[in-house]
Amino acid sequence: MRAPQQFCPKHGACRTIRQSFKRKSEMRLQALLALFCLASPWPALAQQAQLPMVELFAGMHRIEAEVAAHPESRQIGLMQRSFMAPQRGMLFVFPDLAKHCMWMRNTLLPLSVAFLDEKGVVINVEDMQPKTEVNHCAARPARYALEMNLGWFRSRGFASGIAITGVEKAGPPR
């Protein structure tokens, strides 16, 4: 069945032809974008955008944290990111209570990491410099690690013993 012919009074051109051309152009653009994403040197960035978010609180300070609960998302972390808003961070959820360590390979931002116990209480805070492979470890067994911009915890007076609430909303590690 043919589409009805609707003529443009100004140009005399058939609207259905223009609509068809527009749809084909949109499909070509979508295909090009898909190819670009597949050929990207940072395929991890597409995966990071899909991480779930959780709202945490450190005293009166609200934190919007991406949740890294899978082995792949924990391994990628905040790699290749060049900016992170002041209230944003990443919560790493570990499958076991252990002395976990973090490093900064391919991470462009200077970060501070707070290691947390199973209740969200800060064990210790470590400052980490970009593009380094120095290990920064929990002082005792931790269930979580919360990465924020460098100095975030220090500038708010947070150290060992302070509770970060809402970590239980992140769910179990996968």
Q: Which residues contact 31 (CB under 8 A, 6 or more apart)?
A: none
Q: What's the number of domains the chain is made of?
A: 2
- Cβ atoms 80, 44 nearer than 8 A: yes
Cα distance between residue 157 and residue 131, in whole Å: 26
Instruction: Identify whether residues 53 and 129 lie together within a single domain.
Output: yes
The answer on 73 and 10 residing in a single domain is: no
Is residue 33 located within the same domain as residue 51?
no
91 in the same domain as 21? no
pLDDT at 27: 53
- How confident is the model over 135-173, as pLDDT tens digits? 999 999 999 999 999 999 999 999 999 999 999 999 998
- pLDDT (tens digit, 9 = 90+) per residue, 106-138? 999 999 999 999 999 999 999 999 999 999 999
Co-location of 21 and 94 in the same domain: no
164 and 98 within one domain: yes
**Within this chain, do residues 9 and 72 fall inside the same structural domain, yes or no?**
no
* Domain containing residue 16: 1-39
155 & 136 share domain: yes
- Quick: pLDDT tens for 52-61: 999 999 999 9
Residues 16 and 34 grouped into a single domain? yes
Contact predicate 156/112, CB 8 Å: no
DSSP letter (8 states) at residue 168: G
Question: What is the token pair recorded at 127?
Answer: 């400052």
Considering the domain architecture, whether residues 52 and 28 belong to the same structural domain is answered as no
* Domain match, 27 and 54 both: no
Q: Which of 95, 53, 43, 55 is nearest to 74 (CA)?
A: 95
Q: What CATH number is given to the structural domain containing 134?
A: 2.60.120.1140
> Does residue 55 share a domain with residue 1?
no
Q: Vertex 52, ends 164 and 60: CA angle to 5°?
A: 25
